[in-house]
Structure 1
Amino acid sequence: MKKNNIFPKIYLALVFVILYIPIFYLIFYSFNSAGTMYGFEEFTFEWYEEVLQDTRIWIIVLNTLIIALLSAAISTILGVIGALAIMYVKRRRTQNTLLSLNNVLIVSPDVIIGASFLILFTMIGIQLGFVSVLLSHIAFSVPIVVLLVLPKLQEMSPTLVDAARDLGASWWQVLSKVILPFISPGIFAGFFMALTYSLDDFAVTFFVTGNGFSTLSVEIYSMARRGISPTISALTTILFLFTILLVLGYYFINQRNASRSSGMGVRR
């Protein structure tokens, strides 16, 4: 039995090695003084200094963060409303239809979504730039939030809402005091997933980005077309570390919510 249990661990370890070797390769050569992705010479922070002193890069970083935070916040609000609407639809057929429409947006290729938004914004006269990127990111993030919030709503017992209503709570009090606290782990998960998708997206953003506005994914693609340089490696390393911080933040929030839930269970 012990021998059989070793193989899944080895397989999982190999998967992680394959996934992370390219990232660590970039990180390693971001400290190469030779300025190439081979033949390591000396350890240096030169490329990080170059990135940190590049004002244009940091404007693009700021654009990316603003888009990501705004789109994540707005899509979380809309996703929670959408999940509540789907959950409390009375007709089962209508509920399944809404879920199917939500899932179609998730499985649709990014190229199709990006091209569709490009055509839409051109037709209705929205100038490509900040607004078009923000609207696009909100659109593809909302279905993700819905899928993460909906299972928490389905876990909640209907008797909680009925008990609150019997005690005289209004619908707003039921929503703010009963439903939202119960589904808060799903809300946080949806927010962080929407934030990650926005930071990571390239295909949709590439279609709807106009002149004078860019995000990190589009900028890195433009830089890579001129050849992989240590500057890109340094920028990638910074982004990788930022992503780790986001994951750790999400982990600690989940741990805190779990400890609070267990604490409430013990008190009861």
Structure 2
Amino acid sequence: MGKNNKWANLYLVCVFIVLYSPIMYLMYYSFNSGGSMTGFEGFTLEWYKEVFEDTRLLIIVLNTLVIALLSALIATIIGVAGAIAIHRIKRYRRKNTLLSMNNVLIVSPDVIIGASFLIMFTMIGVQLGFTSVLLSHVAFSVPIVVLMVLPKLQEMSPTLIDAARDLGANSREVLSKVILPFIKPGIFAGFFMALTYSLDDFAVTFFVTGNGYSTLSVEIYSRARQGISLSINALSTLIFLFTVILVVGYYLINRRNNSKRIGVGVVQP
């Protein structure tokens, strides 16, 4: 067992090295005063200063954050409602069909999804821009929220709802005081996953953005095609750090909720 654990840990370390080495390389050269990624000549914050002085880029950052927050919020509301509806279905075949339909947007290639949204928006006359990007991000975020919330619903004992009804709670009170508090960790997980997916998405967004409107992923791609600029490294570093902050924030919130739940369980006789 000890030797197996040793090889498993070594494999895990190698995986993390392969995944994070390019990111660390990019971040390292974002502080290079030489202006290239071939040799580090000295430490500088010039490229970060250039990012914050670019008014157009700051507007794009604001667009990206607004899209991410709005789409995550809307997708969370729809996803929670959808997960509760799917959970309440008794027939296995119908429930399995709905789950399969929910997973289509997750397993489908992003290029196909983006092209499909582009065709649909063109056919129904939706102008490409803020609205098209928001609707697309909501659409591919909802299945993620459903998958995050469903396991928490499955963990919940039916006796909790029965007890609440026996005490006189109506359907709204059961939902607000029993179901939603119990699945709160799943709701937070779904919201943060939807938020990060929206921030990182490129393929779908590339198809549904219009003239004069862009997000960070599309802007970075456009700038990278024009040539190597370390301002792209600086911008990518800031995005990566923001994503790390989101993940750490979710971890701390989840840990605090678990601690409270354990504390309540210990206090109860």
Q: TM-score w.r.t. structure 1 length?
A: 0.98
* Counterpart amino acid of residue 132 in structure 2: S
Q: Counterpart of 2:77?
A: 77
C-alpha displacement of 1:73:
0.3
Post-superposition CA distance 1:111-143 (Å, at most 9, x none): 111011101101111000000000000000000
CA RMSD of aligned residues (A): 0.8
- Secondary structure class of the residue paired with 1:213: coil
| 1:169-196 per-position Cα deviation (integer Å, ceiling 9, x unaligned) | 0100000000000000000000000001
Distance 1:10 1:162 in 2: 49
Deviations 1:178-221 (A, max 9, x none): 00000000000000000010001000000000001000000000
Question: 1:104 offset after TM fit, Å?
Answer: 1.4
| 1:224 to 2:236 alignment | no
CA distance in 2, matches of 1:210, 1:267: 57
The letter of the residue matching 2:146 is V
Corresponding position of 2:247: 247
Deviates more, 1:117-126 or 1:3-12: 3-12
Equivalent AA in structure 2 for residue 9 of structure 1: N
**Inter-partner Cα distance in structure 2 for 1:228 and 1:190:** 36
Displacement, 1:4? Answer: 3.0
Per-residue deviation, 1:240? 1.1
**1:152 counterpart residue number:** 152
Letter of the 2:168 counterpart: G
Which stretches of structure 1, 4 residues or longer, exceed 6 Å deviation after superposition?
Answer: none
**Is the aligned partner of 1:196 residue 2:232?**
no
Q: Could you tell me the percent identity over the aligned residues?
A: 74
Unaligned runs of 5+ in 2: none
Distance in 2 (CA, whole Å) between partners of 1:42 and 1:117 is 46
Structure-1 separation of matches of 2:109 and 2:18: 25
**What is the distance in 2 between the residues matched to 1:239 and 1:194?**
16
The match for 2:126 is: 126
Q: Give the structure 1 partner of residue 267 of structure 2.
A: 267
Q: Are 1:223 and 1:232, in contact at CA under 8 Å, matched by a contact in 2?
A: yes
2:166 counterpart residue number: 166
Once the 2 structures are TM-superposed, how far is the Cα of residue 90 of structure 1 from its aligned partner?
2.8
TM-aligned CA deviation for residue 106 of structure 1 = 1.0
Instruction: Provide the residue aligned with 1:181 in structure 2.
Output: 181
1:38-117 to 2 correspondences below 5 Å: 38-117=38-117
CA distance in 1, matches of 2:4, 2:165: 54
Paired letter, 1:231:
S
Contact 1:80 1:145 in 2 (8 A): yes
Whole-Å separation in 2 of the counterparts to 1:102 and 1:12: 32
Task: Quote the offset at 1:165 in angstroms.
Answer: 0.4
**Is the partner of 1:173 in helix, strand or coil?**
helix
> In the alignment, is the contact (CA less than 8 A) between 1:32 and 1:44 conserved in 2?
yes
How many aligned positions are there? 268
User: What SS does structure 1 have at the residue aligned with 2:226?
Assistant: coil
CA distance in 2, matches of 1:5, 1:105: 36
CA distance in structure 2 between the partners assigned to 1:96 and 1:22 by the alignment: 40
1:226 Cα deviation after fit: 1.0
In 2, distance between residues paired with 1:154 and 1:241?
34
Matched residues in 2 for 1:120 and 1:184: separation? 34
Task: Quote the Cα distance in structure 2 between the aligned partners of 1:101 and 1:241.
Answer: 34
Shift of 1:2: 2.8
